[in-house]
A = this chain, B = another copy of it.
Amino acid sequence: MRDLYHDELDSIGASLIAMTHLVAAAMERASHALLDQNLAVAERVMSDDVAIDALRNDIEERTFQLLVRQQPVATDLRTLVTTLHINSDLERMGDLALHIAKVARLRYPDCAVPNDLRDVISQMSEVAMSQVDKVAQVLDGRDIALARAIELEDDSMDALHRKLFTLLLTPTWDRGIETAIDLTLLGRYFERYADHAVSVARRVVFIVTGQMPEPAIPIGITG
């Protein structure tokens, strides 16, 4: 019975990693749709989000069933409860990539991101993708050092987010209110995606060490 139990625990862990790959692909495609005005790719992100939501529900239900059937001991219970939190974070990352794809679609065939903000948005996207790649590795290997690297990358994301506001608030910036609104929302979506990546990393540290790492101090207007 314990072997079946650990098989199912491993299977749920594998599904969390699969989920991470899906939300990584969503971010990559959403960024591509946004920066290269690709309507088909934007719509792909939208249709793929259904699969992310379905996998989230599947993981939640399987985790619940394992809790019901196995009445696990404290350590395994901690892992399963943490799985539920990680699952929610990942699903939310999928939603945020979806929001980015929706902005791309809304402005198509125009590009939502003007040339002067392209670099900062592109860098935010790169940080997000680097973080989510590490999230998959952390979930797979429970590498605590890598989990801390995800937190450090979040500082880069925050710095880029502040830079975005600085650029938007340059007195000579003249792209208008609609673009300012789009970019404010996009900045927020990238930043929140990164926050959830950090949250997953912190939860894995918690599973491995039994202690939540101290939270980073929030910075800036949206901290």
Contact = CB atoms under 8 A, between A and B. Distances in A.
A99 B168 contact: no
B68 A74 contact: yes
Interface in A55-93: 64, 67-68, 71, 74, 77-78, 81, 84-85, 88
A5 interface: no
B77 A64 contact: yes
B67 A81 contact: yes
Interface in A181-199: 181, 184-185, 188
A17 interface: no
Main secondary structure of the interface of A (DSSP, over half): helix
Interface string A122-165: 00000000000000000000000000000000000000000001
Contacts of A68: 74, 77
Of the four ranges (under 10, 10 to 19, 20 to 34, 35 or more), the interface on chain A belongs to 20 to 34
Contacts of A181: 165, 168-169, 180, 184
A202 interface: no
A102 B218 CA distance: 12
Contacts of A77: 64, 67-68
Contacts of A173: 177
A221 B185 contact: yes
Interface string A8-36: 00000000000000000000000000000
- With most chain B CB atoms within 10 A of its CB, the pick from A78, A99, A181 is A181
Interface of A: 64, 67-68, 71, 74, 77-78, 81, 84-85, 88, 99, 102-103, 106, 165, 168-169, 173, 177-178, 180-181, 184-185, 188, 221-223
